[in-house]
Every structure is written in C-alpha cells, then in structure tokens.
Structure 1
Amino acid sequence: MKRIFNLIVLAFIVSANCLAQNRSRWFGYGDERNIVKIELASLLTNTVSFQYERELASNSSITVSMGIMTKGKMPFASYLENKFAQAANLIVGKYSMMSGYRFYFSGEAFRGFYVSPFLKVAGSSIAIDYKFNVADEVKTIPLSGNIIGITGGILVGAQFSLGNRFNLDLEIFGPHYGFSTGQLIGPLALDVTEKGFLEKDLANLDLPIIKTRSIVTSNGASIKLSGPWLGVRSNVGIGYKF
C-alpha cells in the first residue's frame, strides 16, 4: 500500500514538473493556472501533505491532495483514553488522497472565498501490544492490521495572493462523512483459560464510532472493524503558482 502511494506521489511530482517546463508553450508566460502547495497544519500530526490545484475556468478549479504520516505514536492519543485506556500504546501510520472541485465566489480562480465538494480516501496501519488480564496475570497479544475510510464532504475556505508567485490557502471548515472497514490480527498460543479471558475482554471493547467483531482461537485473535467514518478538514497551505 505504501509502495503504491509512493508511485502516485512520484507521478504527481513528475507531472507538475512537466507542467512547469511547458507552461510557456501551453498557456503563455504570465498565465499561471496551477498551484503546488504544502499544507502546514498537517505537520502538527506528523503528516507531510501536498496539494495540486488546477484552474478549470475563470471561477473554478480542481484539487488533488496527498498526505502521509510515518508510523509512530498516535497524535493526541490522550483524548481517546477515556474511551480506550490503551490508546497511548497505539502505533499508527497513515496515508490519504483527496480530490475536490472549487467554486470561487469572487469570480476569479485562486482568489477569495470558495466552496469545495470533495472525496477523500484514507488508510491507516495500526499496531498495538494489547494487554488483557488472566486472573491475576497480565498477558499481551500483538495486534496489527489496516483500516480504510472513504468519505465525502464540503469544504469552505479562502485563498489569497502573496505577491506574484505565492498563495495562502485557508481551508477553514470541511466536515466529511462516509464508511470504514478493516481488520486487526494477532498470533498468540492460548490455552482454554487464556482464550476465555481474551474473548471476554475483546467482547467488551468499546471504540468511538467504530464497531468491532472479534474471533478468538487457540492460535490468537482477529478483530473486524467497520462503521461510519467522519471528520473535519481544516488546514493552512502555502502555494507556488506556475
């Protein structure tokens, strides 16, 4: 999955470079219809995110965004600990791809307030050394897997010029909603007693929004994840026009 994402990013960079080299032939100098941006607020969650925006008409554009978060401790895990006590033990990596259409109320693409319907695909790799009690003893089972979410939403924002070549893009508020699916698997040899305690523990697992269905055998456990997926997109981007 990560290899596919890297190939997409490489194709995106090559395409942007080709556009830059040929803009005089295609559009004429001074006719900047493209912006490549880095999204600064994403860095707060250890995510590197880029966006490409292309003018479609005088008052509209399309956007393609890509982001990747390298594996590490889950950002802001403390906010989940009231629902999931072991949230601090989560190791998470993430990628996302988003495409949207922007309509600018100013009548000029890349300038002023806009509204943007969008579609987003996000995938996460998850790993955790999950602890469960067997009588007076604490056992650990290593769980790992992936979850993917597909959502659609509407973003409201504004974009401003910073000189001739640079832009400031404020993605103010973008609620999105959809569905998610995934699975975690953990290999561990279990006796009858351990199996019973783990079954009971996983049956009582209560995660925010996501539904879980667990299967425990003498060789380990698997947890299927499903349910609605929602979020709010907000970001600040600095872009270069060409």
Structure 2
Amino acid sequence: MKQSFSFFISLFISFVCFSQEDRTSVIKVNASALAFKTYNIQFEKAFNKKFSFALGVSHRPEDRIPFATAIRKYVDAADEGIDYVSLKNVRKGEASMGLFKITPELRFYPGNKSSAPIGFYISLFGRYERFSGTLPVDVDMVYKGQPLRVELPVKTEFKTLSGGLMLGRQFRLGERFTLDWYIIGGYFGNVTVHGESNQDLSKYDDKFISDLRQNILDTFQINEAYLALQVDKQGVRIDNARRLKYLNLRGFGLNLGYRF
C-alpha cells in the first residue's frame, strides 16, 4: 500500500518537473477530506482549451472511523438500501477503516469565456477503491444451558471497480491558485467482499458451530444468494457468492490547487 502511494506521488512530481510555462497544470489537495483523516492529491493537465486529464490518489491509514457516533443514523439509513446484509449490530464507534483510492478522469470544459483547467466541467472518471478495517461484532448464544456472548472482530476488505460522471467547477484564485469544487456526481460498478474472524472454536461441539452460523445469518440478515458464510472451528469467513453491484455518490468536495 505504501509503495503504491509513493509511486503515484513520484508520478505527480515528474509531471511537475516537465510542465510547460502556460500554467495548464494544477496540483491539488482535497481540503474537505482532511476532516476524515484522508490524504488526497490530484494532478490535472489541460491538453487543449476544452479537455484535460486528471489523476487523483487518496490514502487513509487504518484507524477509528471519525465522527462514527454522529453519522451513525445516516449509516443506518443507508443500510436499509442493502438487501444482502445488515450492519446495524456492528459497534460502529469501535470500528476502524483504511482506504486506498485511485481516480483517473477526463474533463470537458464547455464554456466559451474560459478554457481548461478553469471553469465549469463535466468529468468522465473511473475509480478503484480498497477499504480495509475491523468491524467489532458479537453474537449472543446459549451453550450447555448457559448464556454466552461470542466476540467476532471481523477483518474486512472491500474492493470496488467502477465508473461514473460528475459535474464541477474550478475557480481561479489569483494568478497561481485555484479552487476545484466537486458539485455532484455518481458512479456504478462491482464490489468484492471478504471478511474473516480467525479464532479457536475447537472447544465447542458441532451443534454449537451450526447454531452460531444460523445466529450470524439471522443477526446480520445475510442473504446467502449474495454472500457465502462459512463457520467452522477455525473461525468465521464471508465472501461473495455472486457478483455484487456498487453504487455511490461523488461530490461536495473542495480541492485547493496551485497552477504552473
């Protein structure tokens, strides 16, 4: 992960070194992403008055999810739209998440009063995302007539590959600086899911293992047509049972840029 991020930083520096004097290049950082401890850098290069190419890279070290308690109700509302799993019983305030994301895009600037990279634009973009983290969950069971709470710290990984459209506007701030406003957009693609909680369950009998699997299915409303759940005496694993679709929004971001 660190090697990939370092490679793209080096790529941006190379673009800077070979840029021209007409200030058609912009290097930008996403100020709004910093509130979520995410580091985002983008390089944009105009190759004529109407079109430019941009490449963005984002990285967030795995850590507690910021503002998890405050945004919980919004996460729960979004959870209602997922028909193959429910995350309502995840202890979101204790969850951690890391992120790596790369976004290449082609921008079209249709205005007549300004030229790329300044003005209103329409962006056609692709995106690769990798989310990784730990979701702390527990399942209440009964074993040999006694109540038992099974802790399942699930290591998770989500990978997406998608494409979409976005509307935005880049403003000139003096001769050298810009403000790139991501207004609104959306993207669609596929997602792969993997989760595992490796722990020793060998002290429990086969009936307990079977009951635990069923309890996990019921507690998290897992639809086995989409997700395959395996529970044995080595722990719990979950993976795609079929191709899963991914739909998300892009927008409401602010990038502060330097032109050269």
Q: TM-score range by the shorter chain?
A: 0.7 to 0.9
Richer in strand (by share):
1
* 1:53 Cα deviation from its structure 2 partner: 0.2
> 2:84 corresponds to which residue?
none
> 2:216 corresponds to which residue?
202
Q: In 1, are the aligned partners of 2:165 and 2:186 still within 8 Å (CA)?
A: yes
Q: In 1, are the aligned partners of 2:12 and 2:43 still within 8 Å (CA)?
A: no
Q: Does 1:55 align with 2:66?
A: no
Q: Does 1:223 align with 2:252?
A: no
Q: In 1, are the aligned partners of 2:45 and 2:117 still within 8 Å (CA)?
A: no
Query: Are the structure 2 counterparts of residues 158 and 145 from structure 1 closer, same or farther at C-alpha, using a change threshold of 3 Å?
Result: same
* 1:187 Cα deviation from its structure 2 partner: 1.4
SS at match of 1:57: coil
Query: Are the structure 2 counterparts of residues 185 and 126 from structure 1 closer, same or farther at C-alpha, using a change threshold of 3 Å?
Result: same
Deviates more, 1:180-189 or 1:158-167: 180-189
Counterparts of 1:44 and 1:211 in 2: how far apart (Å)?
34
Query: Are the structure 2 counterparts of residues 75 and 200 from structure 1 closer, same or farther at C-alpha, using a change threshold of 3 Å?
Result: farther
Counterparts of 1:9 and 1:35 in 2: how far apart (Å)?
15
Query: Are the structure 2 counterparts of residues 198 and 80 from structure 1 closer, same or farther at C-alpha, using a change threshold of 3 Å?
Result: farther
Percent identical pairs in the alignment equals 22
> 2:83 corresponds to which residue?
none
* 1:206 Cα deviation from its structure 2 partner: 3.5
After TM superposition, what 4+ stretches of structure 1 lie above 3 angstroms from structure 2? none
Letter paired with 2:89? A
* 1:153 Cα deviation from its structure 2 partner: 0.5
Counterparts of 2:249 and 2:173 in 1: how far apart (Å)?
26
* 1:96 Cα deviation from its structure 2 partner: 0.5
Deviates more, 1:187-196 or 1:129-138: 187-196
Letter paired with 1:212? L
> 2:187 corresponds to which residue?
176
* 1:76 Cα deviation from its structure 2 partner: 5.1
The TM-score normalised by the length of structure 1 is 0.87
- Structure 1 segments unaligned to the other structure (5+ residues): none
Counterparts of 2:41 and 2:122 in 1: how far apart (Å)?
19
Q: Name the Cα RMSD after superposition.
A: 2.2
The TM-score normalised by the length of structure 2 is 0.82
Aligned 1:85-124 pairs, distance under 5 A: 85-88=89-92, 89-107=94-112, 108-124=115-131
- Structure 2 segments unaligned to the other structure (5+ residues): 80-87
